[in-house]
Amino acid sequence: MYVPQWASPPYHDQGRDRFTSVAENPFKIVREVPVSTFSIDVDTASYSWVRASLNRNVLPQPASVRSEELINYFRYDYAPPRSTAQPFSTSVAVMPSPWSPGRKLVRIGIKGYSVTRAARPHANLVFLIDTSGSMQEPNKLPLVKQSLEMLLDELAPNDTVSIVTYAGYAGTALEPTQVRDKAKIEAVIDSLGAGGSTAGAEGIRDAYKLAEANFDPRGVNRVILATDGDFNVGITNQEELKGYIEREREKGVFLSVLGFGMGNYNDALMQTLAQNGNGAAAYIDTVNEARKTLVEEASSTLFPIAKDVKIQVEFNPAAVAEYRLIGYETRALNRDDFNNDKVDAGDVGSGQTVTALYEIVPIGGPRTMGDLRYSASAKVASSGSEYGYVKIRYKLPKSSTSRLIATPITRGLEYRSFAAAPQDARFAVAVAGFAELLRGGKYSGMLSYDDVLRIASAARGRDEFGYRSEFVQMVRAAKSARTLAQLGG
């Protein structure tokens, strides 16, 4: 039977989602490698992808699970910094590991100061929107439109917005327009349709040209890319794209990425673009996620308070035998990168919290590796009163010179039992444990999904928007999906 073209369902890619597989951080011997260095990460794309997969009753690909992005999806109640002179506060806690008896977890939390709405700098934003044929599906271009219209409500009247679209070719749909002319901007957004191939790289060039033409040296200049996947026309070499975006970053124009849909999502490329563009990578799978990212967290998404933020932890060999950093594999830095202001790192937005967890084996605890024959003579620190020392290096948004803050990890910060640890710390541990299970459980000991449910439910605390309750439901969904997979369903 003939089916008219207008009645055909839109094309849908299947099984072409791409993620970079990275080995989990292993345990390291403190006497051999006492220093751990990494760039902070406040992306949340992995969490939303995991949720979208579980909503389809399918376990996510292990490569799609980045532990730090699951942990940092949630805000934590850390004390705010006392003044803008030092834009971060630091919160450290040490507690017994709930999955490995005899080991401990070190929670390092930082919180950025919150810029008031009145004090926000002027925003010069360019929306770079994928309008290729694959964007026709309801959770793609229609959701992009809803998301961007939500964001407009969070901008100031004198902020400027431009729109570039790309499909078979790229074009400017809206020249720089002040948000006070909201009706004009919304009319252009509403008129967008999908069709054609994906000239993403050409669109990026046009978007940066618009951002530079309207550049505000004292404001925020940012391109926001909204896409479902890959670039198949123009610059297709990932290293070439990376270099181009790095050069634009040095000019003061940053790039953030919003991913939509499934079937053709190139997560590896999206991560590369956002990390090298000094921006965040988010994955928008629902209207609620759009509201969270672009309304509730608009300040932290758009307005950085610090850039090139790096963390370095030196562990004390008199107190710690081994350690491993949970997550942050794609953010690892060399030890000498920490003091090198030319090395790029992550950004922190207004009011954001960032959390990192280390699992440590105290001296005398259950080690994963024995001593080498010729390491017995290694010198160790004389005092075990400190587990380690945390250093954070950062630059203010318009500065090229870094600043340093530091704090020791003392035994005075330790809790005798896991149940006595701060509620937020226990919830972060539950999320980390969940990520470990989804990644294959190599380091999760005897932890089960039921254990994660028990810990998360007891540490849920204040849950204004229901995100923590949603997490509990995700754990239940993962448990069911795992059972189906074992049964061959």
Question: Mind listing the pLDDT tens digit for each residue in 325-344?
Answer: 999 999 999 999 999 999 99
Token pair for residue 48? 């939303």
| 8-state DSSP, 376 | T
* Domain contains 5: no
The Cα–Cα gap between 143 and 149 comes to 10
238 in the same domain as 110 = no
* Domain contains 18: no
* Domain contains 51: yes
| DSSP SS3 for 110 | strand
284 in the same domain as 146 = yes
* Domain contains 409: yes
186 in the same domain as 79 = no
DSSP letters spanning 123-151: EEEEEEEE-SGGGGSTTSHHHHHHHHHHH
Contacts of 58 (CB under 8 A, 6+ apart): 481
* Domain contains 74: yes
Residue of 396, 446, 358 whose CA lies nearest to 28: 358
* Domain contains 371: no
Among the candidates 301, 328, 356, a domain finishes at 301
323 in the same domain as 264 = no
* Domain contains 323: yes
| DSSP SS3 for 19 | coil
297 in the same domain as 161 = yes
| DSSP SS3 for 8 | coil
* Domain contains 372: no
The Cα–Cα gap between 208 and 201 comes to 11
| DSSP SS3 for 345 | coil
Q: How many domains does the chain have?
A: 2
317 in the same domain as 273 = no
Percent of the chain at pLDDT > 90 equals 66
342 in the same domain as 296 = no
The Cα–Cα gap between 204 and 245 comes to 9
Contact 220, 304 (CB under 8 A): yes
If phi > 0 it is left, if psi is from -120 to 50 it is alpha, else beta; for residue 420 that is alpha
78 in the same domain as 132 = no
Each of the 489 residues of the chain gets a pLDDT tens digit; together they read 333 334 344 444 455 788 988 999 999 999 999 999 999 988 899 999 999 999 999 999 999 999 999 999 999 999 988 777 788 899 999 999 999 999 999 999 999 999 888 889 999 999 999 888 888 888 899 999 999 999 999 999 999 999 999 876 678 999 999 999 999 999 999 999 877 665 556 788 889 999 999 999 999 999 999 988 765 545 566 778 888 889 999 999 999 999 998 877 888 888 888 888 888 889 999 999 999 999 898 888 888 889 999 999 999 999 999 999 999 999 999 999 999 999 999 889 899 999 999 999 999 999 999 877 676 544 545 567 899 999 999 999 889 999 999 999 999 999 999 999 999 999 999 999 999 999 999 999 999 999 999 999 999 999 989 999 999 999 999 999 887 666 555
Per residue in 261-280, pLDDT tens?
Answer: 887 788 888 888 888 888 88
Question: What is the extent of the structural domain holding 275?
Answer: 120-301
In this structure, what CATH number is given to the domain that contains residue 228? 3.40.50.410
Among the candidates 286, 301, 316, a domain finishes at 301
333 in the same domain as 258 = no
132 in the same domain as 157 = yes
293 in the same domain as 391 = no
Q: What is the pTM of this model?
A: 0.91
Among the candidates 280, 301, 322, a domain finishes at 301
Residues found in the chain:
489
In this structure, what CATH number is given to the domain that contains residue 310? 2.60.40.1230
165 in the same domain as 74 = no
